Structure 1
Amino acid sequence: MNETFVCVVGNVATQPVYRDVAAGPSARFRLAVTARYWDREKSAWTDGHTNFFTVWANRQLAVNVAACVEVGQPVVVQGRLKVRTEAREGQQQWASADIDAVAIGHDLARGTALFHRAAKQDTPPAARPEPNWETPPPADPQDGGAAQQRQEPAVVT
């Protein structure tokens, strides 16, 4: 269990690519994370270096990413960091930083979002009746139960 978990805040840099493969749904997109710092000489915030990550989402998270994540949106991503290096024949060695996402959400510090719970794919949602939350008043032995007769009936939808 020696994995590196990270939480990064950045902007979606590419349109999510969704694939429905044999192992289940998968989606990926690039995330741009730019450091910001206060420049005392300019008395202003200044952008620093930008890191790019490839974010991978699987199963229901992939379906939800494909449905609601778009280029330019600010998101928060939590997941496992995986750094890969590869050398191809005749080319210079390169490195890639990937995040195997566990959770992805819009950054509410920079905007608003409207949440909709995703319906499970396996089973259709079953209709459940609304419970009656009204508590009947205790019966008063002196009025012969008249208090219960005066109680308004509960509305059930």
Structure 2
Amino acid sequence: MYETTIHVVGNVVDVPRRTRTSNGTVTNFRMASTSRRWDEDAKGFVDGATLWIDVACWGELSGNVSRSVSKGDPVLVVGNLATESWDSESGRRSANRMKAIAVGLNLARGWAEFKRPARAEQAPDVPGPQESDGNPYAARSTDYIGGEETLHMTDSDVSEQEPALT
């Protein structure tokens, strides 16, 4: 079955609610995304239509969202779109809902501090990250291998110029 994956940039409009269900833990919140366009007559940007969407975050994402996201925060959400339908007193109703794959704060609108949860175990022969040579950022990541040559080395097979496609 195909799923409709979308990216939505907007603002959280209510307090995220974390709930424990028989299927696991879920954090729900509602967000709004308002389009903006340039209006030549007004010589400025004007607001367009607003997309209102309910977001559901399951599993580990649920806990991280409930600890990190608040009402009013600018967010980016990636997830699968679905339309849920139900019967109500006023007849058949439906609403768009997004099952989030990833949620992030929109750093174009502010800054954040990221904290990773501690891993359960680390291999005993691999030392953990440490501050080295007075570099306070060395302990933040183990992805970078030090040395100037790693910044400038290129693979000659990859760096050869290719003719432009016509």
Tell me the distance in 2 between the aligned counterparts of 1:131 and 1:67. Answer: 25
Give yes or no for the alignment of 1:44 onto 2:44: yes
TM-score (norm 1): 0.73
Tell me the distance in 1 between the aligned counterparts of 2:102 and 2:69. Answer: 13
Tell me the distance in 2 between the aligned counterparts of 1:71 and 1:124. Answer: 35
Which has the larger displacement, 99-108 or 109-118? 109-118
Q: Check whether the contact 1:119–1:125 (CA below 8 A) recurs between aligned residues.
A: no
**Residues 130 and 83 of structure 1: is their aligned pair in 2 closer, same or farther, counting only changes over 3 Å?**
closer
Q: RMSD value over aligned CA atoms?
A: 2.5
Which residue of structure 1 lines up, in the alignment, with residue 33 of structure 2?
A: 33
Give yes or no for the alignment of 1:94 onto 2:93: yes
Please show how residues 76-87 of structure 1 align to structure 2 within 5 Å: 76-87=76-87
**Residues 130 and 33 of structure 1: is their aligned pair in 2 closer, same or farther, counting only changes over 3 Å?**
closer
Offset of 1:51 from its aligned partner? 1.1
Please show how residues 1-157 of structure 1 align to structure 2 within 5 Å: 1-89=1-89, 91-119=90-118, 123=120, 129-130=127-128
**Residues 64 and 92 of structure 1: is their aligned pair in 2 closer, same or farther, counting only changes over 3 Å?**
same
Structure 2 unaligned segments of length 5 or more: list them.
Answer: 131-166
Tell me the distance in 2 between the aligned counterparts of 1:9 and 1:26. Answer: 21
Offset of 1:110 from its aligned partner? 1.2
Query: Which SS does the other structure have where 1:119 is aligned?
Result: coil
Identity of aligned residues (%): 36
Q: Check whether the contact 1:85–1:94 (CA below 8 A) recurs between aligned residues.
A: yes
Residues 79-124 of structure 1: CA distance to partner in whole angstroms, max 9, x if unpaired?
10001233424x044331100000000011111111101235xx47
- Which protein has the larger Cα radius of gyration, Structure 1 or Structure 2? 1
Tell me the distance in 2 between the aligned counterparts of 1:130 and 1:33. Answer: 41
Q: Check whether the contact 1:33–1:52 (CA below 8 A) recurs between aligned residues.
A: yes
Which residue of structure 2 lines up, in the alignment, with residue 153 of structure 1?
A: none
TM-score (norm 2): 0.70
**Residues 86 and 48 of structure 1: is their aligned pair in 2 closer, same or farther, counting only changes over 3 Å?**
same
Count, aligned residues: 130
Structure 1 unaligned segments of length 5 or more: list them.
Answer: 133-157
